[in-house]
Amino acid sequence: MTSIISIDLVFYLIGVIVMLVAGMTLRDASNPKRYTTAAFWFLFGSSFLFGDLMIMYLGKPMTYRVVGLIVLIIAGIAGANLLGAGTKPDDGVAARRKSAERLGNRLFIPALAIPLITVFLTLFGKELMVGGIHFLDQKNLTLTSLALACIGAIAIGQRITGSSPVVAIRESRRLVDAIGWALILPQMLAMLGGVFVAAKTGTSIQAIVNLFVDPQSRFALVTIYCLSMAAFTMIMGNAFAAFPVMTAGIALPFLILQHHGDPAPIVAIGMFAGYCGTLMTPMAANFNIVPAALLELKDKYQVIKIQIPTALCVLACNIFLMYFLAFP
């Protein structure tokens, strides 16, 4: 172990939260699907609590197969519509208003503490050493900082509101129930991305895009590069995955080598063309679908719908910016 607060510790913490949620769900008679819902969260939580232990005892290939099987069961439970939510014991708006009046702006302190402590630790916590070893995981600085910030914010929150930790866990379950399967979707998509990489989907897309390339027309090349960055990002849900494929396929041979474009603006703007795609796809779940679930929107695609006009306008801007800035 090379740091005191390691990434493993953060995963254990997440695992504990999920397991508590699963336990509370199991005991909740108001949820008509409580057994399958509890199983769903238990399976998800076990990849956090026992994943690293399994790697230690079973080795990587076996662990990955077991987790793969767990993933299939999780998808099955969600797909068979066996995920339910309890009817929440709600104190109602009146009680919350009263509490808000009593506590006033002090309520903002723990909420603001999360980003502030996280940023503070990422900026100044990197060099922190305790007894000769790093305090924070050097490779996962943001995540370990975030975990510490959340623990700090909970401590401050308990002090200000004077309530017990049980309340925090019970309220987490309410939120987890409301968000539901969307919490797991980002990891499932990372998994699909992994299969696409193994299946060389990128090479196929590159070959198809190249059918449309006219090496003589500079403007057409710029347009195809930007549009294919956006489109492939929409498929992969991640511009980082699309960038090497499309840049090696179009930008490098045609725009940079043949037309002598300036590489810096081409790659910078090309990546942004990919980001325009990110704004328009449900595959970028942690940006587009999880927030819709967090905000309890009726239409899970509404965030994407709001982003599409901006994304298309910026995409058009990118095409012209690249055409004029990379070829002076």
CB of 216 to another protein, least distance (A): 23
Query: What is the identity of the amino acid at 243?
Result: F
CA distance 5 to 200: 37
Query: Which one of 13-21, 30-38, 126-134, 212-220 is the stretch in contact with another protein (CB under 8 A)?
Result: 13-21
Question: For another protein, how many residues bind (rule: CB under 8 A)?
Answer: 143
Residue 62 or 133: which CB sits closer to another protein?
62
Residue 131 or 158: which CB sits closer to another protein?
158
Considering only residues 178 to 197 of the shown chain, the ones binding another protein according to CB under 8 A are 181-196
CB of 131 to another protein, least distance (A): 26
CB of 129 to another protein, least distance (A): 22
Residues 143-162 as x/- pattern, contact with another protein by CB under 8 A: x-xxx--x--xx--xx--x-
Residues 292-321 as x/- pattern, contact with another protein by CB under 8 A: x-xx-xxx--xx-xxx-xx--xx--xx--x
CB of 68 to another protein, least distance (A): 3
CB of 34 to another protein, least distance (A): 19
- Any contact of residue 49 with another protein (CB under 8 A)? no
- Any contact of residue 128 with another protein (CB under 8 A)? no
Phi, psi of 134 (to 5 degrees): -65, 145
CA distance 50 to 88: 30
- Any contact of residue 201 with another protein (CB under 8 A)? yes
CB of 29 to another protein, least distance (A): 21
Burial classification of residue 207, based on how many CB atoms lie within 10 Å of its CB (0-12 exposed, 13-18 middle, 19 or more buried): exposed
Output the CA torsion 61→62→67→70 (10° steps). 140
Residues 219-258 as x/- pattern, contact with another protein by CB under 8 A: ----------------x---xx--xx--xx---x---x--
CA distance 9 to 280: 35
Burial classification of residue 81, based on how many CB atoms lie within 10 Å of its CB (0-12 exposed, 13-18 middle, 19 or more buried): exposed
Query: What is the identity of the amino acid at 145?
Result: S
For 40, half-sphere exposure in the C-beta direction (CA atoms, 13 angstrom radius) is 25
Considering only residues 56 to 75 of the shown chain, the ones binding another protein according to CB under 8 A are 60-61, 63-72, 74-75
Residue 29, classed as helix, strand or coil, is: coil
CB-CB contact of 285 with 237 (8 Å): yes
Taking every pair of Cα atoms in the chain, the longest distance, rounded to a whole number of angstroms, is 71
Among 29, 56, 57, 105, binds another protein (CB under 8 A): 105
Tokens of 145: 């900082």
